[in-house]
Structure 1
C-alpha cells in the first residue's frame, strides 16, 4: 500500500527517531490533558458546571468528538502528503484560541460553538492520529515498541492534568484555569513541533504545496484503496470501541447502582489508569514479534470477560477482579489498533486510511456510552446495557480473526 522511500537525506538516525517519539508523546499528553482530561474537573462543582448546565457542557464535548472524527480523513491526508508538523502547529493554535474563548463564554450557544468549531478541530490535529502517522513515516519495519512508548508517555496525561486542573481552578477559578491550559498547550506543542518534529512524507505521496483540489483528490485516493482487510478491521474495532467505551463511561454509575459506596468505587476505578500503564507498552511491543490478530482477539475477549465478571456483583473481590482485567488491557486498545493498521497498510496511504477509520470509530466512541445510557433509562437497570457491551466485545473476536493475512506474511 505504498513503497519504501529512498531519499538518503530521509534516512534519519535512531536517536532522532526516539527523540521524535518522546516529543510526539509529550504533545499528545498535553493536548489530551488540556482539552480532554481537564473536562472532568470543569464538570465539577465550583467550575464551569456552576455557570453552564452539565447537559450543555456534555453536548459541547460530544460535538467536539464528532467534529474531530469527521475531520480525521482530512488530517490524515495532510499528514500523508505534507507531514504532521503543520497539523500539530495548527491544532495547538486552534486549541489555545478555543480554550481562551471558552474561558470567556457567557451563553450556552457560545460554549457549543467554540467546542465544535475550534476545539473539535484541535482534537483532530493534536491527539493520537497525527502522531501515529509520524511514527509510520519515520520507522521502517515493526513499529510496536515506538507506538507503545508513545501511548505509555501520553497515557500519563490523566495523572498530570487532573490534579493540575483542580489546583488551577482552586487558585484562580475555572476561567483562568482554562485560559492557562490553553497557553500551556500552545507553548508546549509549538515548541516541540518547531524544534523536534521534521516532516517525512513518502515520495509517492508528497506534495510540494497543499491546495484544495489536490488534497481532495488525495483523500479520494485513500477511499479507493480500501479492501476486505480494512473493512474487517474497521468492523472489529467498531464493535470493540462501542463496548469498551460504554463500560468506561458507565462503570462508576453501574457499581453505584449495584450498591457499592461512591467514594470507594471512585478509588477502585481510579486504579485502572495505573494498571493500564504496562499494557500500553507491552501489548503493542508484542506485535513486533507475533501476528496481530490473535493478540487483538485476546484483548477484546479479556475486556468482555471483565465485564461479565461484574454483572450483578455484590462482592468487592469481583470489583477488583474487573478492575485488574479491564485495566490490564484497556490501555492497549488504541496503540494496538495503530500497530495492526501499520502491519497491513504502512505506507503512503496510512494517514488517510487511519483517518477514514477514525471517522467511523468516533461514532462508536460517542455511540457506545449514549446507547448504554439510553438502555439504562429505558430498563431502569444497567444489566442489559452491560451485557450488551460485553456481547459486542465478544463479537469483535471472530471478526478480527477473520481478517486475511497480508500477502507478505
Structure 2
C-alpha cells in the first residue's frame, strides 16, 4: 500500500514520490508483459503474408505480383503508422492506442476471409492489418521501455522487440499447418481470435505512465510526474520529422534501416516460403525454418539489447549487417527440398542477426534526439518498412520474370554491405555523447 499524507482540505492521498516498500513486482514488469502480449499477436499477422501467396493464387488465380501489391501496402503503412502512433501514445496513452491497434488487426484479418477482389485484399490486409500491426511495432516497444524503465532499458527494448518476432515466427508454423489442413480462411480467423483474446489483458494490465501508479520508473532514483499530454499529435509528428530531416544522422539511420527492412521483412519473411516451395519443400517445413529463425531472434535481440547497454551501437550495427549480408549471399546455394543441416544452420545464424539491429538503432535515436527519440525512431522505422515494401514487390516481380528468387537474395546481401559502411558514420550526440 502506498504511503499517505493528510491534507487540510480533504482525505488521505498517496504521496506518489516513493516506491511502494512492500511491492514484490514493480508494475513496470506487468506493463512490459502486457505490451509483449499485444506485440506478439499483432506480429503474428505480419509474416502470414508469405503463407497466403500460394493459396490466394490457387483460390483466385492472382499472380504473385498482384498479391505483392497488398503486402507492400501493408508493410509501408506498418512503417508510416509508427511515428504517428508514438505521438498518439503521448497524447492518448499506451493502453488506448494498443487496444485500437488490436481491434484493427482482428477486423482486417476477419474481413480478409470474405474478400473476392484484389482491391479488397489491399483494403483489408494492406490498410487495416498494416495500421494495426504498425501501431504495436518497435516504436511501441521503445515508448514502453523509455517511460517505465531506467535500469535495464536496453534489455527490455530487446525483449519487447523479440516479442514481435516471437509472434511472427512461432505462430507461423501453426497457421501454416491450419492453412494446409483446413484452408487459409480458418488460419486468419485463428489469428484474429488471438488478437481479441489479448485485448482484455491489455485493458487490465497496461498503464500509460509510472506516475499513474504513484511510483518511480523501474530503476529510477526520482519520481517522474506525468507530462501534460501534448495536443496536435499529427502536427508534432511532422514537426519532429522536419527537424530531424535537417540532420545527417537521421538520413543515415533511415538508409540503414531501409536496407534492414529490405533484407528481412521484404524478402525473407515475404518470400522464403514460396522460394523454398520452388525447390520442393512443403510450406509447413519452410514455415518451421522461419519459426526456428524466430526462436533465435529472441536470443539475438535480447543479446543485442544487453550489448547496446555496454558498447558502441554503431559498431554493433555494422557487424550485424556484415554477417547478415554474407548469410543472404550464401542462401541460394543452400536451398533444397528438405530442411537439411545447412538450412538449419542458416536459420540459426540469420535468426541471431535478424532483429538484432533494432536495439542499437533505438539507442542511437535516443542518444541523438532525446525526448523526441520515439517519434524519430518511428520515422526511421517507416524507412524500414518502405524498404521492406519495395523489396516485397520487387521479389514477386523478379520471381515472375526470371522464375527464381536467387537474384534478390544476392542483391539483398549487397545492400547489407552498403548499410555496414553507413552505420559507423552516424555522429555522436552533440549533447555530450551516450548516457550509460
Scaled to the shorter chain, the TM-score interval is: 0.7 to 0.9
Q: Which residue of 1 aligns with 2:424?
A: 401
What stretches of structure 2 of length at least 5 have no aligned partner? 1-14, 211-223
Q: Which residue of 1 aligns with 2:202?
A: 193
1:115 lines up with 2:139 in the alignment:
no
Distance 1:374 1:79, change over 3 A: same
Give CA-to-partner distance per residue, 1:14-64, whole Å, 9 cap, x none.
72112222211111101122x22444444454x895256364544333222
Q: Which residue of 1 aligns with 2:11?
A: none
1:359 lines up with 2:382 in the alignment:
yes
1:91 lines up with 2:101 in the alignment:
yes
Distance 1:16 1:39, change over 3 A: same
- Secondary structure of the residue that 1:156 maps to in structure 2? helix
- Secondary structure of the residue that 2:263 maps to in structure 1? helix
When structure 1 is superposed on structure 2, of 270-279 and 390-399 the one drifting more is 270-279
Q: Which residue of 2 aligns with 1:299?
A: 320
Q: Which residue of 2 aligns with 1:28?
A: 39
Q: Which residue of 2 aligns with 1:215?
A: 233
Q: Which residue of 2 aligns with 1:341?
A: 365
Query: Distance in 1 between the 2:52 and 2:332 partners?
Result: 31
Distance 1:110 1:197, change over 3 A: same
Q: In the TM superposition, what are the counterparts of 1:215-294 in structure 2 within 5 Å? A: 215-226=233-244, 227-245=247-265, 247-248=267-268, 249-251=270-272, 261-262=280-281, 266=286, 271-294=292-315
Query: Distance in 2 between the 1:322 and 1:169 partners?
Result: 25
Query: Distance in 1 between the 2:418 and 2:35 partners?
Result: 33
Q: Which residue of 2 aligns with 1:5?
A: none
Candidates 370, 377, 389, aligned match of 2:412:
389
Aligned partners of 2:28 and 2:148 also within 8 Å = yes
Candidates 66, 90, 95, aligned match of 1:80:
90
Q: CA deviation at 1:96?
A: 2.4
Distance 1:284 1:247, change over 3 A: same
Give CA-to-partner distance per residue, 1:249-276, whole Å, 9 cap, x none.
455666777xx65359836665433333
Q: CA deviation at 1:392?
A: 1.2
Aligned partners of 2:109 and 2:129 also within 8 Å = yes
Query: Distance in 2 between the 1:113 and 1:365 partners?
Result: 19
Aligned partners of 2:317 and 2:360 also within 8 Å = yes
Distance 1:380 1:129, change over 3 A: same
Distance 1:300 1:12, change over 3 A: farther
Give CA-to-partner distance per residue, 1:264-312, whole Å, 9 cap, x none.
9836665433333311211111111112111111101111122333465
- Secondary structure of the residue that 1:88 maps to in structure 2? helix
- Secondary structure of the residue that 2:309 maps to in structure 1? coil
Distance 1:9 1:391, change over 3 A: farther
- Secondary structure of the residue that 2:26 maps to in structure 1? helix
Query: Distance in 2 between the 1:270 and 1:97 partners?
Result: 25
Q: CA deviation at 1:122?
A: 1.4
What stretches of structure 1 of length at least 5 have no aligned partner? 1-7
Distance 1:319 1:220, change over 3 A: closer
